[in-house]
Structure 1
Amino acid sequence: MGKYSIKILSLCFLSVASFTGCKNSSSSKNTSRATGWQINSKEGGFQYNSNFKEQETPPGMVFIEGGTFVKGKVQDDVMHDWNNTPTQQHVQSFYMDETEVTNVMYLEYLDWLKSVFPPDDPAYKNIYQGALPDTLVWRNRLGYNEEMVDNYLRHPAYAEYPVVGVNWVQAAQFAEWRTDRVNEHILEREGYLARNTKYAVTQGDINGTFSTEAYLNRPEQAYGGNIDSLQGKAKRDSTNVFAKRTSGIILPDYRLPTETEWEYAAQAIVGTREYNNYRGRKKYPWEGEYTRSGKRKNIGDQLANFKQGKGDYGGIAGWSDDGADVTAQVKTYPPNDFGLYDMAGNVAEWVADVYRPIVDDEANDFNYYRGNIYMKPSIDKDGKLKIVSQNEIKYDTLSNGRIVARDLPGELAMVPVDEKDTYLRTNFSKSDNRNFRDGDPGSTRNFYERFDDGEKQGTMYDAPQHKISADSTGSIVMEYDKSNNRTTLINDEVRVYKGGSWRDRAYWLDPAQRRYLPQYMATDYIGFRCAMSRVGSKAKKRTKRARD
């Protein structure tokens, strides 16, 4: 045999070996490294999404790569209260809405509620009413704003303007609704649900709704137990009848961003990064110390919508004003370096945190958040996870007398964690952690209040406790707490809001500024946007590390 024949045979052998190697490499993803058994076998066994790449970007959101930054760092502390003392924090990667939630987005929510839970049905009468924004926030004792009262929420002229008049509770419930609608759409897209199932629900053809957590934990009870007739054709004869967390297609919850996430996203210090350092500081979400653009293309234009001075909400008409009397249409002003719009001005925004003047970075400097209330699914008498039925809807009466639904039919019934869940744990010991280490009786920071009758021990946060109850006829009775001994307005139901608004001076445009308001109150200058945690890798693409 000649040397050329030997070379040809060698090349053939290498080709076959290479092909075999590729085949083995390809099939190894579906072979268990623990047992050697086949994964995703048509005959059954362990089913898992071995082709998962990364979390898809949710509708309306942009990716925010996490990292370390200095939270706080207010440059103009005119009150000298050190309300946001600088602390070094680390934030995990997450997603955030590109813009504030707009009127048309919130109207879609209201339309869904009205279709699925008709307010003229006595069983549902408070669900829709409890979600309605308070349009009366536009009224002013010495101002004429009735056209805003009547038109701002629903008129198409304001469709892409940020929704206002929404309290913190309503904003959080919108995020829960959005989670279920997006995941419902994904299941339909991936063939787990029949086409147009979501429309059949709103048109009353199906007596039941979709809840992400209920579907994942008790899928047979989805849509009021009618799930068998709604399975998509692609999955009807498959081993994977229902999607699971292991399917990799269910998105995490939409939610309000934490204060730390919001401030990190607003600062967008990624735009000042040079290798492994940040170049200087940013006073606003954009670079520079001024609120007007210095670029030749739009020099002099305002970079945000805010109050420029007494009686000046936009500037001189016809010359480089900010283009808005009150709120402005989203995306009117340039985005920051993360691609987020209106992180300063337009409307201030609710965040998830319970307000406290001091950020306790000694307790935690990773994904800092005050407001955790740990819950778990309720178990019924048959030992199964309980689903809320039409007759078991629970309502909360807020301090201002407004009634909101705590849960909706079809959702998992939730209860606080108890001693069985916290026994011998070191990371948490109770369900409600809103006042952890903040001066409550369970902490070490108690102080003494001095009254005329001597010294009396009190707590750091002694806010008024207004009472609301129902009399024998069912009418709501409201009673103000008029005690002169109250020391603060802060309690566990007071939430942080961030960012300046159309009513605020430039002082409040600094992302580090923070204010608070009871979670049941709404205004004409506070809106919100949603966030979502990222699962998996920190970055979408691994960037080449700079040399030391």
Structure 2
Amino acid sequence: MKKLLLSSIAFVFLLSSCGSKTKGELVGAEGRKWYPEKPYGMELIPRGAFIMGKSEEDQAKLLNAPTKTVTVRSFYMDDTEITNSEYRQFVEWVKDSITRTKLAVLADELQIGPEEGGIGDYAFKDADTTKLSAYDKYMLDNYAGMSDNFYEGRALNKDQDLIWDISEYPDEYYTEIMDSMYISEDESYNGQRSIDVTKLKYKYSWMDIDAAARAKTGSRKDFIRQEELNIYPDTTVWIRDFEYSYNEPMHNDYFWHDAYSEYPVVGVSWAQARAFCNWRTKFKNDDQKSRGKQFVNQFRLPTEAEWEYAARGGIESGTYPWGGPYVISDTGCFMANFKPQRGDYAADSALYTVEAKSYEPNDFNLYNMAGNVSEWTNSSYDPASYDFVSTMNPNGGDGSNERKVIRGGSWKDVAYFLQVSTRDYEYADSARSYIGFRTVQDYMGEEDSTQ
């Protein structure tokens, strides 16, 4: 009997082996060939080594950027600063999601479903259980209500367009929710009632890989961080940054008016810039998932070393992104948007910011790596960090250090801050009329040589 059982097992094994495509060879797990897709609006910055720091005289005598040869890996970088138009896409997405969530929650509380119309058209997708997959039913039965927010994780119905015209609101419940999204009547004037931007909060989670890698104990959940913050730019920076100065038109119009759509967004803190990066990653990967494609890796802020390497554009020991040593071309034109002379902001033909694609790009095809707006980086500022950071992909990241490096100088700075090696910082919770940002994405794989 025992011999018969062993023979049966051997026969089954033989049958399963006959149908194998690998013929018993080590060919690797089944997968798809990965070809990198150049992200829209970005340039590939090839890996390389460069001399980081001040090779020229440090006029400010800060001594915080001694020369150091370092190497960085390949990455994509936005060819311009993030514009008002691009950041408004983020704001509109958050506004849309919050409004839909409010509508879905009220519909759920009132037990109104899609079959009843009105606010029911915006009920959670799982409200109609007949259309749920087996997986969705399982998740609803086993995980709904486990978090502090009972409704967290339930899918919104984004197939139904939101109605913003008050004359077309479908019912009183819809009207109630839409009314809650606007500032109160006693806060409006001149008959204009606008969205209450304090309600535009973005919530996301991320894993502190650095802390997890260095910890000796703890589970994954110990290193998952939760973030929730208001993401609307602080438009009051145009007034608060400058005492006894009339900048009210910039406060009123700069972020939302179409005239400034292609200008760099300002009034965004370091934390808000990071939230934008998280959203951009989610926005792209939601589309990847819908098309059955692999996820892309995250968008993020550049490290200080990546920013300087990209700003140099491959020019060794250059003072500015165009090389230098002057800020005026041989035809007498200024090469960037900054403050050329004391009290004279407009000598370079710009008073405040200019459109993101202004002036000539550097040799990596990146615009305004000097001037226009200073840019947030992922690195924390320490005047001695060049002495201890690695020579491979250096990054002075320190979660407890609220001083974050900004680079490139801005429209209100003198030429010294435009130098590719000049370091400056601002506190992470600060928002300024002269600080913006651009994002990067790590490069993976090799180019498809057959295309």
TM-score (norm 1): 0.53
Query: 1:184 offset after TM fit, Å?
Result: 1.9
Q: Are 2:272 and 1:175 equivalent residues in the alignment?
A: no
Equivalence map 1:469-548=2 (5 Å): 492-537=401-446
Cα distance in 2 for partners of 1:308, 1:314 equals: 8
Q: Are 2:86 and 1:60 equivalent residues in the alignment?
A: no
Cα distance in 1 for partners of 2:101, 2:298 equals: 30
SS in 2 for 1:174: helix
Aligned residue identity for 1:252 = N
Equivalence map 1:21-420=2 (5 Å): 35-36=24-25, 46-49=29-32, 51-52=33-34, 54-73=35-54, 75-118=56-99, 121=102, 125=199, 127=201, 130-139=230-239, 140-188=242-290, 191-192=291-292, 249-269=294-314, 272=315, 281-294=317-330, 299-315=331-347, 322-362=348-388, 364-371=390-397
Query: 1:341 offset after TM fit, Å?
Result: 0.3
Cα distance in 2 for partners of 1:73, 1:119 equals: 51
Q: Against the structure 1 CA distance between its residues 127 and 31, is the aligned structure 2 distance closer, same or farther, given a 3 Å change threshold?
A: same
Query: 1:314 offset after TM fit, Å?
Result: 2.0
Aligned residue identity for 2:289 = L
SS in 2 for 1:90: strand
- Percent of aligned positions that are identical: 39
Query: 1:355 offset after TM fit, Å?
Result: 0.9
Cα distance in 2 for partners of 1:137, 1:181 equals: 28
Cα distance in 1 for partners of 2:411, 2:369 equals: 12
TM-superposition CA deviations, 1:123-159 (whole Å, max 9, x none): 8946167101110000032111111101000000000
Cα distance in 2 for partners of 1:37, 1:88 equals: 41
Q: Against the structure 1 CA distance between its residues 115 and 363, is the aligned structure 2 distance closer, same or farther, given a 3 Å change threshold?
A: closer
Aligned residue identity for 2:333 = D
Aligned residue identity for 1:499 = G
Aligned residue identity for 2:201 = I
Aligned residue identity for 1:36 = E
Query: 1:36 offset after TM fit, Å?
Result: 3.1
Cα distance in 2 for partners of 1:143, 1:174 equals: 31
Cα distance in 1 for partners of 2:381, 2:63 equals: 14
Equivalent position of 2:177 in the other structure:
none
Query: 1:119 offset after TM fit, Å?
Result: 9.9
Contact 1:292/1:303, CA 8 A, preserved across alignment = yes
Contact 2:271/2:428, CA 8 A, preserved across alignment = yes
Cα distance in 1 for partners of 2:382, 2:342 equals: 31
Equivalent position of 1:479 in the other structure:
none
Q: Against the structure 1 CA distance between its residues 363 and 293, is the aligned structure 2 distance closer, same or farther, given a 3 Å change threshold?
A: closer
Q: Against the structure 1 CA distance between its residues 363 and 106, is the aligned structure 2 distance closer, same or farther, given a 3 Å change threshold?
A: closer
Query: 1:187 offset after TM fit, Å?
Result: 3.2
Contact 1:118/1:125, CA 8 A, preserved across alignment = no
Query: 1:324 offset after TM fit, Å?
Result: 1.4
Cα distance in 2 for partners of 1:55, 1:508 equals: 35
Aligned residue identity for 2:445 = G
Contact 1:353/1:496, CA 8 A, preserved across alignment = yes
Greater share of helix residues, 1 or 2? 2
Question: Which one is further off, 117-126 or 496-505?
Answer: 117-126
SS in 2 for 1:496: strand
TM-superposition CA deviations, 1:218-276 (whole Å, max 9, x none): xxxxxxxxxxxxxxxxxxxxxxxxx5xxxxx321100000000000000112xx4xxxx
Query: 1:334 offset after TM fit, Å?
Result: 0.5
Aligned residue identity for 2:319 = K
Q: Against the structure 1 CA distance between its residues 80 and 287, is the aligned structure 2 distance closer, same or farther, given a 3 Å change threshold?
A: closer
Query: 1:173 offset after TM fit, Å?
Result: 0.5
Q: Against the structure 1 CA distance between its residues 493 and 312, is the aligned structure 2 distance closer, same or farther, given a 3 Å change threshold?
A: same
Query: 1:78 offset after TM fit, Å?
Result: 2.4
Contact 1:31/1:38, CA 8 A, preserved across alignment = no
Query: 1:38 offset after TM fit, Å?
Result: 8.1
Aligned residue identity for 2:365 = G
Equivalent position of 1:438 in the other structure:
none
Aligned Cα RMSD in Å? 2.5
Contact 1:31/1:37, CA 8 A, preserved across alignment = no
Contact 1:74/1:84, CA 8 A, preserved across alignment = no
Cα distance in 1 for partners of 2:432, 2:298 equals: 26
Cα distance in 2 for partners of 1:308, 1:38 equals: 63
Cα distance in 1 for partners of 2:373, 2:448 equals: 30
Query: 1:288 offset after TM fit, Å?
Result: 2.9
SS in 2 for 1:338: coil
Cα distance in 1 for partners of 2:344, 2:372 equals: 15
Contact 1:119/1:126, CA 8 A, preserved across alignment = no
TM-superposition CA deviations, 1:331-362 (whole Å, max 9, x none): 11100000000000000000000111112455
Contact 1:85/1:358, CA 8 A, preserved across alignment = no
Cα distance in 2 for partners of 1:167, 1:37 equals: 51
Aligned residue identity for 1:263 = E
Aligned residue identity for 2:338 = F
Aligned residue identity for 1:302 = F
